[in-house]
Amino acid sequence: MCRVRRLDTTDARILLALDSDPRATVLGLSRLLGLARGTVQAHLERLEADGVLDSFTRRLAPAALGFTVTAFVMVEIHQIRQDRALEGLSQIPEVLEVHGITGESDLMCHVAARDADHLYLVGQAILAVEGVTRTRTSLAMRELVPYRITPLLRGLVE
């Protein structure tokens, strides 16, 4: 989880450069940005410690692994069993993300499945989790705007 700390212009410039070239080295970033190597290193260490930078894993397209169906499952839970519900959901490999939300549902799960039959089984697994009382599933037909952070970073630099 990210600690609340406002990013400065130098942080934003470093993050924009990393967004463009995730494999950039500290030395490469310092040369590109005209900053001292120690400055870049210190900013990166602080960004990691504050939880601003997630782990350095590459994002994989679930379809490349055979999971061609993307769905969002809205989940209602017993509030007093939230911890158990979250633990149970985290044990289902096809549940990629879980967000706490407002509105009629309590949680929104981003789910990947191989096909409609597999999605049905994933839905049943979610319903079987202790504390889950009801679900509603929506299929994603197409990703129209992929996850992005660059426009927000550019706003800090400009």
Q: Percent of the chain having pLDDT more than 90?
A: 73
149-157: long-range contacts (C-beta < 8 A, 24 or more apart)? 149/15, 149/19, 150/16, 150/19, 153/12, 153/15, 153/16, 153/19, 154/12, 154/16, 156/7, 156/9, 156/11, 156/12, 157/9, 157/12, 157/13, 157/16
- 49, pLDDT greater than 80: yes
Mean pLDDT of the chain: 92
Q: What is the mean pLDDT of residues 29-55?
A: 91
What is the band of 127 on the pLDDT scale with cuts at 50, 70, 90? very high
pLDDT for the residue numbered 55 = 67
pLDDT for the residue numbered 1 = 54
